[in-house]
Amino acid sequence: MHQAEYSQRREALMAKIGKGSAVFRSAPMAVMHNDVEYTFRQDSDFYYLTGFNEPEAVAVLAPHHEEHRFVLFVQPKDLEKETWAGYRIGVEAAKERFGADIVYPIAELDEKLPQYLEKADRIYYRLGRDKGFNETLLKHWQKLLAVYPKKGMGPTAIEDPAPVLHPMRQVKTAAELELMRIAASIAVDAHNRAREFARSGRYEYEVQAEIEHTFRLQGAIGPAYPSIVASGANACVLHYTENTCQLQDGDLLLIDAGCAYEYYNSDITRTFPVSGKFTAEQKAIYEIVLEAQLRAIAQVHPGNPYSQIHDTAVRVIVEGLLDLGLLQGNIDEIIKEEKYKPFYMHRTGHWLGLDVHDVGVYQHGETPHNLEPGQVTTIEPGIYISPYLKPVEGQPDIDPRWHGIGVRIEDDVLVTSTGSEILTAGVPKAIYL
Ligand code: GLY
Ligand code: MN
Ligand code: MN
């Protein structure tokens, strides 16, 4: 991503925060076990505004400051530490490469930060997972509050930046979409390869390996989330990630896998028969989910309420389950009382972007959130008939021939000015028999 893009984002945010100062903390290092750490993954807000990809950093936006509107605090160069933990950009190079007006070593935070807060009317900061940094920020704020009566100036509130920043992240720019298309295209290739590879006798983890091999081979950072390769009744566990079972003819295989490419994510699910041929029951369920997905995608149009996507999918699923005799009663009542939930317990989609479950609201209180061009959502209806399904009063007992069928179909859909574009259309989902 070009530096100009980050600069534009910062300018857009600064225009919105007026007399405030915004403070963003890099993500903490996460411990995997003992003293082994996970690969560092930058905080998405931090990354969105800076492109800076190291821990132990702080970014400050102070639109009212005379000299330094964009300030970075970073880890200084330290050859000994870098020998162990990887190269650091350092104070000098960070100024050049990331376009900051000034860069300080992180150790100078306490000394330098107050000058960027003291003239602000509020501090935009999300109290987050880094408890130590929350304390640091509150300490600075309290000191400024203490001198407020004398100065008659200073921040009198801490405000969450999300309501100003996240609507920006929710609408993707051309440069972001370029990365999302690459993430989508790599995941498309991975799914198509997995489908070729999957057959009776293979293990779920072998299919997973094919998928993740494709991710890395094509330059993705890796999986966007733990890949789900769920055969048979494993598909009824929404976040099944053990991936240890052997594929059997007669089973369906549900694969939910996507990748992160330069921090932008894709998220695809496909379900297909291991043998290539559906049983009558599998086919009946698959057809309902496919119809629900296609009808839900057809709702993606600028101006349409987000909730219409889910409502449409739910109605198609309930109609289908009523037709099959797996639900009984009045359709509106079943929907209102959510009696379909034993079969369909999750939402039909989520925003997608720098986070897999990306930021942005779905509803504004009682007012719907209407779709806008540039927003990207997944559309992922499913039906799951767990063998452990509990009987529901007033609803039919489920014949065991339906047990263990789990189907989900998921695509990544961009809202365009005229409708929608399916970024992940390259993985087949029609039934070929
Ligand atoms: N695999 C995560 C999701 O579909 O939301
Ligand atoms: Mn998803
Ligand atoms: Mn998914």
The per-residue pLDDT for range 3-50, each reduced to its tens digit, is 999 999 999 999 999 999 999 999 988 778 888 888 899 999 999 999
Q: What is the chain's mean pLDDT, rounded? A: 96
Catalytic residue set: 35, 239, 256, 267, 346, 350, 357, 380, 384, 408, 410
**For residues 360 and 362, what is the distance between their CA atoms, to the nearest angstrom?**
7
CA of 381 to the centre of ligand 1 (A): 11
Q: Are residues 220 and 300 in the same domain?
A: yes
Query: What would the mean pLDDT of 108-123 be, rounded to a whole number?
Result: 98
Tell me which ligand sits closest to the C-alpha of residue 239.
1
- Asked whether 173 and 374 are in contact (CB, 8 A), the reply is yes
Q: What is the pLDDT of residue 304?
A: 98
Q: The domain spanning residue 151 has which CATH number? A: 3.40.350.10
Q: What is the pLDDT of residue 22?
A: 98
**For residues 300 and 394, what is the distance between their CA atoms, to the nearest angstrom?**
35
Name which residue sits closest to atom 4 of ligand 1, judged by CA.
267
Q: What is the pLDDT of residue 217?
A: 98
CA of 256 to the centre of ligand 1 (A): 7
Tell me which ligand sits closest to the C-alpha of residue 226.
1
Q: Are residues 157 and 179 in the same domain?
A: no
Does a structural domain hold residue 433? Answer: no
**For residues 288 and 407, what is the distance between their CA atoms, to the nearest angstrom?**
10
**For residues 190 and 198, what is the distance between their CA atoms, to the nearest angstrom?**
12
Does a structural domain hold residue 431? Answer: no
Does a structural domain hold residue 427? Answer: no
Does a structural domain hold residue 246? Answer: yes
Among 142, 168, 194, residue at a domain's last position: 168
Q: The domain spanning residue 197 has which CATH number? A: 3.90.230.10
Name which residue sits closest to atom 3 of ligand 1, judged by CA.
267
Does a structural domain hold residue 428? Answer: no
Does a structural domain hold residue 224? Answer: yes
Q: What is the pLDDT of residue 315?
A: 98
Residues spanned by the domain of 110 = 3-168
The answer, yes or no, to whether any atom of ligand 1 lies below 6 A from the CB of 267, is: yes
What's the pLDDT tens digit per position in 307-322? 999 999 999 999 999 9
Q: What is the pLDDT of residue 298?
A: 98
Query: What would the mean pLDDT of 228-244 be, rounded to a whole number?
Result: 96
Is pLDDT at 220 greater than 50 in this prediction? yes
Name which residue sits closest to atom 5 of ligand 1, judged by CA.
357
pLDDT confidence tier of residue 295, bands split at 50, 70 and 90? very high
416 φ/ψ sector (left φ>0, alpha ψ -120 to 50, else beta): beta
The answer, yes or no, to whether any atom of ligand 1 lies below 6 A from the CB of 205, is: no
The answer, yes or no, to whether any atom of ligand 1 lies below 6 A from the CB of 256, is: yes
Total number of domains in the chain: 2
**Strand 102-105 relative to strand 70-74: parallel, antiparallel, unpaired?**
parallel
Among 168, 199, 217, residue at a domain's last position: 168
* Ligand 1 pocket mutation pick from 350, 377, 411 by most atoms within 8 angstroms of CB: 350
Q: Which of 305, 386, 298, 300 is nearest to 341 (CA)?
A: 386
Does a structural domain hold residue 432? Answer: no
Q: Are residues 86 and 152 in the same domain?
A: yes
**DSSP assignment, residue 357?**
S
Q: Are residues 27 and 162 in the same domain?
A: yes
Integer distance in angstroms from the first to the last C-alpha of the chain? Answer: 44
What's the pLDDT tens digit per position in 69-98? 999 999 999 999 999 888 999 999 999 999
Q: Are residues 210 and 158 in the same domain?
A: no
Q: Are residues 360 and 221 in the same domain?
A: yes
Is pLDDT at 401 greater than 70 in this prediction? yes
CA of 81 to the centre of ligand 3 (A): 38
pLDDT confidence tier of residue 432, bands split at 50, 70 and 90? low
Q: Are residues 204 and 226 in the same domain?
A: yes
What's the pLDDT tens digit per position in 181-212? 999 999 999 999 999 999 999 999 999 999 99
Neighbours of 347 (CB within 10 A): 15
pLDDT confidence tier of residue 130, bands split at 50, 70 and 90? confident
- List phi, psi (to 5°) of 152: 65, 30
Does a structural domain hold residue 429? Answer: no
Q: Are residues 82 and 205 in the same domain?
A: no
Q: What is the pLDDT of residue 32?
A: 82
Query: What would the mean pLDDT of 107-118 be, rounded to a whole number?
Result: 98
Query: What would the mean pLDDT of 120-136 be, rounded to a whole number?
Result: 94
Query: Mapping DSSP to helix (H, G, I), strand (E, B) and coil, where does residue 39 land?
Result: coil
- Using CB atoms within 10 A of its CB, is residue 115 exposed (0-12), middle (13-18) or buried (19+)? middle
**For residues 328 and 395, what is the distance between their CA atoms, to the nearest angstrom?**
6
Q: Are residues 131 and 179 in the same domain?
A: no
What's the pLDDT tens digit per position in 360-387? 999 999 999 999 999 999 999 999 999 9
The better pLDDT of the pair 128, 325 is held by 325
CA dihedral 413, 415, 419, 422 (to 10 degrees): -20
User: Scanning the structure block, which residue is given the tokens 């102070």?
Assistant: 62
What's the pLDDT tens digit per position in 346-362? 999 999 999 999 999 99
Name which residue sits closest to atom 1 of ligand 1, judged by CA.
256
Q: Are residues 27 and 60 in the same domain?
A: yes
Query: What would the mean pLDDT of 170-174 be, rounded to a whole number?
Result: 98
Q: Are residues 237 and 145 in the same domain?
A: no
Is pLDDT at 330 greater than 70 in this prediction? yes
pLDDT confidence tier of residue 433, bands split at 50, 70 and 90? very low
Atom of ligand 1 nearest to the CA of 228: 1
- DSSP assignment of 182-226, as one string? HHHHHHHHHHHHHHHH--TT-BHHHHHHHHHHHHHHTT--EESS-
Among 138, 168, 198, residue at a domain's last position: 168
pTM over 0.85: yes
Q: Are residues 28 and 95 in the same domain?
A: yes
